[in-house]
Amino acid sequence: MDDHVANTHDIHSCIKNNLENGEDGDGDSSSSRFVEHIAGSDSPPYTPLPGFAQNGEAVSNEISAPYEVPQFPIEVIEKKLAIQRQISSRVAKDIEEKRSHYEPSFVGSVQEEMFKLDEHDFVPHFQRVAISGEDTSGVPLEDLQQASRLLVQALHIRERYMEMSHQSFPALTARFLRSFDDKAPHHYNHIEHEDKKTIADHPVHAPPSNTSPWECEMPPAKGYIFAPVRGVFQVYRDQAARDADNPLPYSYPHLDTFVQDMNRLCAMIADGPMKSFCYRRLSYLSSKYQLHVLLNELRELASQKAVPHRDFYNIRKVDTHIHAASCMNQKHLLRFIKKTLKNHADEVVTCNRDGEMTLRQVFQSMNLTSYDLTVDMLDVHADRNTFHRFDKFNAKYNPIGESRLREVFLKTDNYLGGKYFARIIKEVSSDLEESKYQNAELRLSIYGKSADEWDKLAKWATTNNVYSDNVRWLIQIPRLYDIFRTNQLMVNFQELLTNIFHPLFEVTNDPSSHPELHQFLQYVIG
């Protein structure tokens, strides 16, 4: 106990002497001024860390701390941006010099193709991440070989189906696949992109259409004959070819081949080593991308800002998945319902067992007035649980939970012929046109219950003049055959296919058979 008190007294004496000599320990004193070791103490002796400033060489805390804000942040950022612009211009100049001084090799066409310079192959001067080593997959060699074999099979299946549908398969992937099977390269529909080097090549505003959107050429009838054979519509040149069962040679996957390919893909999905490899590979690529963002974020931002007249707000944006019945926000829908109830309250909008009903009577039957309507009462906003529950997803399309309001305001085939629905879509389209750079692909539904659904939809669009330069149409087909079959609305699945596809073959073969549908299909893109 006496030794411990003595050691404590020695420590306090050393600290007191250092304070009296003006040594506050904030980095100005040298290591020799500290007590290196105290007799009887259990603490290890003091040793200075290598690499750190000693003997008064330490810099001030304000400058050395990397987590502190710099003294002149704006000036530092501007210097960095200036350096990045100089580097980008220097790299662009080097690319032009290489392109101007490049001479093809005389060895052969293979090397000439290999060393061909293309401006799309050059990228800005970014930092790159490379992973080296013999095995970078993180899985055993046997699992890697099995996963690679299955992935190549899946890519071959995708390549075959894209070729049948006349889509362009990626050339880089196709070249690697050819190196596996040693087959001749396929001939795909190569897409040529225009080379736009100047600002004049990029129009700021698309030219507006001055003519009526429904004025289009009406081609003569083709005279083909078509009929469904085992669920597939076959096209014949004439009646003689139909009698001889000699259809035109359009390629399509047969049912047996399709089922076999689907079973093979399902087996790949359930394969354990395959899932492990894919999970590790996707995690690796995600981490590599995040590292790329950390290294090159400032340079990419500088490159984006260097492009004149282009930012997030004045580039073309297309919403490719939006239902026409939900293209407006909830406040817009509420405002439209209130305005319609105020101006057209006595208009007949529906018909039930008791007879015709006006818009005022529809709201009176629900004990509602325009004053009672609120955004929360509409309950059409999607929350985090909406997309996990399909029943709740469908319920969100019923304002106030009433299917009658959906039929009045959000349907194309109702008592009014979809007049209110056309009005609100034209209001949304007007907002898109005013923003100039926003476009939408609105989705309309064809259920396949009857063969005249296409004609009714086309008549709704042409009669109400539902058109905008910023809007195109997508047709979706809900999978409701089980409900139709349960309610005895149709006999078999072929009837559903005929109701959906037969009108399209008819209008393609003879546009005069469905003139309004021919006009409407000019703006249907899928």
SS3 readout for 337-370: HHHHHHHCCCCEEEEECCEEEEHHHHHHHCCCCC
Residue 417 and residue 412: Cα distance in Å, rounded?
6
Q: Find where tokens 């997959």 sit.
A: 137
| Averaged pLDDT score across all residues of the chain | 78
Q: Token pair for residue 451?
A: 């063969």
At position 164, the amino acid (one-letter code) is M
Which pLDDT value is given to residue 124? 56
Nearest to 218 by CA among 525, 523, 524, 507: 507
- Spell out where 72-132 has E strands: none
Q: Is 124 left (phi over 0), alpha (psi -120 to 50) or beta?
A: beta
Which pLDDT value is given to residue 95? 60
Strand partners, 348: 358
- Spell out where 448-519 has E strands: 471-476
At position 69, the amino acid (one-letter code) is V
Which pLDDT value is given to residue 73? 67
Which residues does the chain have with pLDDT short of 70? Answer: 1-73, 91-124, 134, 136, 182-207, 377-402
Which pLDDT value is given to residue 303? 84
Which pLDDT value is given to residue 374? 78
Q: Find where tokens 């490719």 sit.
A: 320
Q: Token pair for residue 441?
A: 């692909």
Nearest to 401 by CA among 370, 372, 366, 371: 366
Hey, which CATH number is domain 306-522, 3.20.20.140, 3.40.50.300, 3.90.1150.10, 3.30.420.40?
3.20.20.140
- The helix/strand count (H/E) of the chain reads as 19, 7
| HEC letters along 182-230 | CCCCCCCCCCCCCCCCCHHHCCCCCCCCCCCCCCCCCCCCCCCEEEEEC
Overall pTM > 0.85: no
Q: What is the DSSP string of 253-284?
A: --HHHHHHHHHHHHHHHH-HHHHHHHHHHHHH
Which pLDDT value is given to residue 33? 46
At position 405, the amino acid (one-letter code) is L
Which pLDDT value is given to residue 52? 41
**Domain ranges across the chain:** 133-188+271-305, 306-522
Q: Token pair for residue 519?
A: 């006009």
DSSP assigned state of 238: S
Which pLDDT value is given to residue 443? 94
Cβ–Cβ under 8 Å, residues 88 and 124: yes
